[in-house]
Amino acid sequence: MSTDFRFEIFPLLEALCEHSLTPAGRDRLEQLVIESPEARQLYVRYMQLHGTLTWDAALTDASQLVAFAERAGTQATTRPVRLRRWLVTSLGGLLAGALALLMVLWIGRTPELPSDPVISPNLANHPVLSAPNQNTDTTPLPTVALDVPMSSPTPSVMHPPNPAPAAVVAATVPMDDASVVSRINHLMRAKWSDAHVEPSLMAEDSEWLRRVYLDLLGHIPDSESVDRFLADGRRNKRSLLVQELMNHPDHARNLATIWSNLLVGRTTERPIDRAGLSKFLREQFRQNRPWTETVARLVSAEGDAREVGEANFLLAHLNNQAVPATAVTARIFLCRQVQCTQCHKHPDSSHGGTMSEFWELNSFFQQAEVVENRKYNPLTGRDEIVSRSLIDKPEGGPTHYEDLRGVMNVAYPRFAGQEINPDSTIKRRQELARLITTEGQRELAAALVNRTWAHFFGQGLVNPIDDMGPHSPCAHPELMEALTEAVVASNFDLVRLQKWIVSSQAYHLSSVATAQNASDEPVDGALPLFSRMYLKPLSAEQLFDSLLVATAADRAGASYWEQAEANRQAWLADFYSALENEENADATTFGGTYAQTLMMMNGDLVQRAISNAPGTVLNEIARTNADERTKIRSLSRAALGRDPRNQELVVFQSQLKHRREMPGAEPLGDVFWAYLNSTEFTVNH
Amino acid sequence: MFNQGMSRRHFLSHAAMGGAAVLGANQFLSHLQLNAAEVSKNQKACILIWLGGGAPTIDMWDLKPGSKNGGEFKPISTAGDLQICEHLPTIAQNMDALSVVRSMSTREADHMRGAYFMHTGYVPNPTVVHPTFGSVVSYEVGTKRQNLEIPAFVSIGNGGMSPGFLGMSHAPFSVDAGGRIQNADMGSMDQGRLMARLSMLETIEDGFIKSNRGEAGQAHKDVYGKAVNLMKSEQMKAFKLDEEKPEVREAYGRGGFGDSLLMARRLVEVGVPFIEVNTLGGWDLHNDVFNTLKNQRLPQLDKGIGSLVADLKQRGMMDNVTIICMGEFGRTPRINQNVGRDHWATSWSVLVGGGGLKGGQAIGETDADGTRIVSDSYLPSDLWATVAYAMRIPLDTVHTSKRGRPMKIANGGQPIKGLI
pLDDT digits (tens, 9 = 90+) for B208-264: 999 998 888 888 888 899 899 888 889 999 999 999 999 999 999 988 899 999 999
Question: Is the same domain home to B278 and B360?
Answer: yes
CA-wise closest residue to B374 among B102, B23, B20 = B102
Query: Tens digits of per-residue pLDDT, A132-183?
Result: 333 333 333 333 434 443 333 333 334 444 544 444 444 444 479 999 999 9
Phi-psi region of A80 (alpha: psi -120 to 50; beta: other; left: phi over 0): alpha
Higher pLDDT among residues B2 and B42, named by residue: B42
Residues of A in contact with B219 (CB under 8 A): 592
Question: Is the same domain home to B266 and B207?
Answer: no
Report how many domains make up chain B.
2
3-state SS record for A529-564? CCCCCCCEECCHHHHHHHHHHHHCCCCCCCCCHHHH
Task: Kindly state whether A670 is in contact with chain B, defined as any CB-CB distance less than 8 angstroms.
Answer: yes
pLDDT for position B11: 38
Question: Is the same domain home to B91 and B123?
Answer: yes
pLDDT(A78) > 70: no
pLDDT for position B127: 75
State how far residue A594 is from chain B, nearest Cα, in angstroms.
6
Question: Is the same domain home to B155 and B221?
Answer: no
pLDDT(A216) > 90: yes
pLDDT for position B41: 62
Task: Name the amino acid, one letter, at A563.
Answer: Q
**Average pLDDT of the segment spanning A104-129:** 35
Rounded CA separation B398/B405 (Å): 10
| Nearest CB to B343 within list A78, A343, A588 | A343
pLDDT for position B179: 82
Strand, coil or helix: B112: helix
- A670 → chain B, closest CA residue: B197
Q: At B407, which CATH number? A: 3.40.720.10
Burial A639-658 (b: 16+ CB within 10 A, else e): bbbbbbbeebbebbeebbeb
Rounded CA separation B335/A441 (Å): 40
* Average confidence score pLDDT of chain A: 79
pLDDT(B160) > 70: no
Strand, coil or helix: A412: coil
pLDDT(A63) > 50: no
Q: ipTM value, please give it.
A: 0.80
Confidence of residue A591 (pLDDT cuts 50, 70, 90): low
Rounded CA separation A138/B59 (Å): 73
pLDDT(A470) > 90: no
Confidence of residue A370 (pLDDT cuts 50, 70, 90): very high
pLDDT(B128) > 80: yes
Higher pLDDT among residues A523 and B113, named by residue: B113
Rounded CA separation A22/A15 (Å): 8
pLDDT for position A558: 45
- What does DSSP assign to residue B138? H
Strand, coil or helix: B351: strand
Q: HSE (CB half, 13 Å, CA atoms) of A470?
A: 21
State how far residue A486 is from chain B, nearest Cα, in angstroms.
28
Question: Is the same domain home to B224 and B134?
Answer: no
Q: Are strands A418-419 and A414-415 parallel, antiparallel or unpaired?
A: antiparallel
pLDDT(A91) > 70: no
**A57–B375 C-beta distance less than 8 A:** no
Rounded CA separation B12/A441 (Å): 59
Residue B6, classified by CB atoms within 10 Å of its CB into exposed (0-12), middle (13-18) or buried (19+), is exposed
Structural domain that includes position B322: 42-179+240-419
pLDDT for position A13: 84
Element (H or E) spanning A634, and its range?
helix A628-640
Question: Is the same domain home to B149 and B296?
Answer: yes
| Nearest CB to A524 within list B200, B334, B402 | B402
User: Is there a cis peptide before residue A464, judged by omega within 30 degrees of 0?
Assistant: yes
**B224–A78 C-beta distance less than 8 A:** no
CA-wise closest residue to A264 among A215, A298, A307, A296 = A298
Instruction: Among A27-41, A346-360, B314-328, name the one with the lowest average pLDDT.
Output: A346-360
CA-wise closest residue to A91 among A4, A37, A13, A38 = A13
In Å, what is the CA distance from B310 to each residue of B97, B246, B287, B415? 9, 16, 33, 25
Task: Kindly state whether A406 is in contact with chain B, defined as any CB-CB distance less than 8 angstroms.
Answer: yes
**A402–B200 C-beta distance less than 8 A:** no
Of B203, B234, B265, the one marking the end of a domain is B234
pLDDT for position B35: 55
Q: HSE (CB half, 13 Å, CA atoms) of B286?
A: 13
pLDDT for position B74: 97
**Average pLDDT of the segment spanning A366-386:** 89
State how far residue B298 is from chain A, nearest Cα, in angstroms.
16
Q: Are strands A303-304 and A382-392 parallel, antiparallel or unpaired?
A: antiparallel
Question: Is the same domain home to B254 and B110?
Answer: yes
Residue B59, classified by CB atoms within 10 Å of its CB into exposed (0-12), middle (13-18) or buried (19+), is buried
**Average pLDDT of the segment spanning B69-74:** 95
Q: Please state, for a pLDDT cut of 90, what percent of chain A lies above it.
A: 49
Confidence of residue A36 (pLDDT cuts 50, 70, 90): confident
pLDDT(B2) > 80: no
Confidence of residue A236 (pLDDT cuts 50, 70, 90): very high
Query: Tens digits of per-residue pLDDT, A612-635?
Result: 888 889 989 988 999 999 999 999
In Å, what is the CA distance from A525 to each residue of A465, A549, A599, A675, B126? 13, 35, 31, 31, 6
Question: Is the same domain home to B332 and B371?
Answer: yes
Query: Tens digits of per-residue pLDDT, B385-402?
Result: 999 999 999 999 999 887
**B207–A648 C-beta distance less than 8 A:** yes
pLDDT(B78) > 90: yes
Question: Is the same domain home to B202 and B335?
Answer: no
pLDDT for position B249: 94
Residues of B in contact with A514 (CB under 8 A): 212
| Nearest CB to B196 within list A54, A648, A659 | A659
Question: Is the same domain home to B103 and B196?
Answer: no
**B187–A655 C-beta distance less than 8 A:** no
**A589–B158 C-beta distance less than 8 A:** yes
**A599–B372 C-beta distance less than 8 A:** no
**B405–A593 C-beta distance less than 8 A:** no
Nearby residues of A570 by Cβ (< 8 Å), 6 or more positions away: none
Question: Is the same domain home to B141 and B279?
Answer: yes
**Average pLDDT of the segment spanning A390-409:** 86
**Among A residues 628-647, those touching chain B with beta carbons less than 8 Å apart:** 645, 647
Strand, coil or helix: B349: strand
pLDDT for position B120: 96
In B141-240, alpha helices (H): 191-210, 216-231
Question: Is the same domain home to B119 and B203?
Answer: no
**A574–B126 C-beta distance less than 8 A:** no
Residue A641 C-alpha from the chain's centroid: 26
Choose the most confident range, by mean pLDDT, from A278-287, A595-604, B23-32, B41-50.
A278-287
Q: Please state, for a pLDDT cut of 70, what percent of chain B lies above it.
A: 90
Q: Please state, for a pLDDT cut of 70, what percent of chain A lies above it.
A: 73
Confidence of residue A521 (pLDDT cuts 50, 70, 90): confident
Task: Kindly state whether A49 is in contact with chain B, defined as any CB-CB distance less than 8 angstroms.
Answer: no
**B199–A79 C-beta distance less than 8 A:** no
pLDDT(A69) > 50: no
pLDDT for position A168: 40
